[in-house]
Amino acid sequence: MINSIMTPAIGTEAVRNLENTLKTQSANNDFSHFLESAIDSVNRRQVEADAKVFNVASGQDVDLHGQMIALEEANISLRTMASVRDKVVEAYQTIWNMQV
């Protein structure tokens, strides 16, 4: 019951995908494969949001509520990816500046 309360409403699919990827990732898969799949996921969200914006701009009958949710999910996933990138770069710089 606590897990259902703490699960975020927006981006739950991304959280589930990340959990499944971490669970099924074997020793043969490397970090680059994991990173590539995460970037592909963010890119897919951006493309889906752009397609929904195009449908609204072209005058098609669309669900505005669903479109706004897709835009916000794409925004959140992009900001999350940028934050992770910043942390990875910061960790790399910290390791690089260590005195041996």
Mean pLDDT value of segment 54-70: 87
Of 31 and 65, the one with more pLDDT: 65
45: nearest Cα among 9, 85, 81, 88: 81
CA–CA distance, 67 with 79 (Å, rounded to integer): 18
Query: With a threshold of 0.85, does the pTM exceed it?
Result: no
Counting residues of the chain whose pLDDT is more than 70, the rounded percentage is 71
Residue 33: predicted pLDDT: 84
Pick from 70, 69, 52: nearest CA to 61? 52
Q: In angstroms, rounded to a whole number, what is the distance separating the alpha carbons of residues 48 and 71? A: 9
Query: Where is pLDDT greater, at 75 or 18?
Result: 75
Q: What residues contact residue 46 under an 8 Å CB cut-off, 6+ apart? A: 74, 77, 78
